[in-house]
Structure 1
């Protein structure tokens, strides 16, 4: 699996979120500076060789969503919309749309399949010396280990 391109495709999928009065900044890597609201891939783990001869790897990505703390209620409301299981602002919805049609490859051909597994860590996050309200989304991606 081409991890760099999988990360980029996850960010591209997240960019389809529709937010009221805001646009979501999305990147497949951890940025030096945050332009909120911001979605980025913060971490990942790889389970190699889930099927013999490098046929399948499972990568679990942790994406972080950070919003401004300038208005505590507005930030939480925005996060709630993005962390919902459905709706125009749902990260779960737009990311899982990148699975493609049944029988086709996910993430524009860079993976076999994916699923948004959970949301966790609704709290304050420090990034580059500044504090943001945020949460983490765990995304499981499966794909060819030899690609």
Structure 2
């Protein structure tokens, strides 16, 4: 499993999301120093080496989505749209549209989200949430 390319592919998939205003979500392959919301990037990844009987390598990637400032009602509404289960603004639907990430993995699933909170990114408070993406090698 090439976790670097998997993170990049997740960012590319997130970048296909069409926002309600017709623009696209910005996807970053790495944690950006100065993100420009609305955006998504892999904030963390954890993995296991062959914990299953067939020796499959697995990873859990935490994809952080930032929409704007925490006190901004529009940022909270945009986050609702990005966390929808399906539709043109759904990050989950965009990621799961190619469950092999172009052949980088055997399967993946977006299993949930957490947050709806402010994150300190580069000294600036941004509103967002985190998606959990389970990836099988």
TM-score normalised according to structure 1 size = 0.87
Aligned to 2:3: 3
4+ residue runs over 6 A deviation: none
The more displaced of 19-28 and 40-49 is 19-28
Pick from 105, 109, 123 the counterpart of residue 129 of structure 1: 123
Aligned to 2:84: 84
CA distance in 2, matches of 1:46, 1:28: 18
Aligned to 1:98: 98
Q: Is 1:37 equivalent to 2:64 in the alignment?
A: no
Number of equivalenced pairs: 136
Aligned to 2:101: 107
Aligned to 2:51: 50
CA distance in 2, matches of 1:31, 1:52: 37
Q: CA RMSD in A?
A: 1.5
Larger radius of gyration: 1
Aligned to 1:73: 73
Once the two structures are superposed, residues 49-108 of structure 1 have per-residue CA deviations (whole angstroms, 9 ceiling, x without a partner) of 12458x411100001001112871110111000001111100111100021xxxxxx001
Matched residue SS, 2:50: strand
Consecutive unaligned residues in structure 1, runs of 5 or more: 100-105
CA distance in 2, matches of 1:124, 1:52: 40
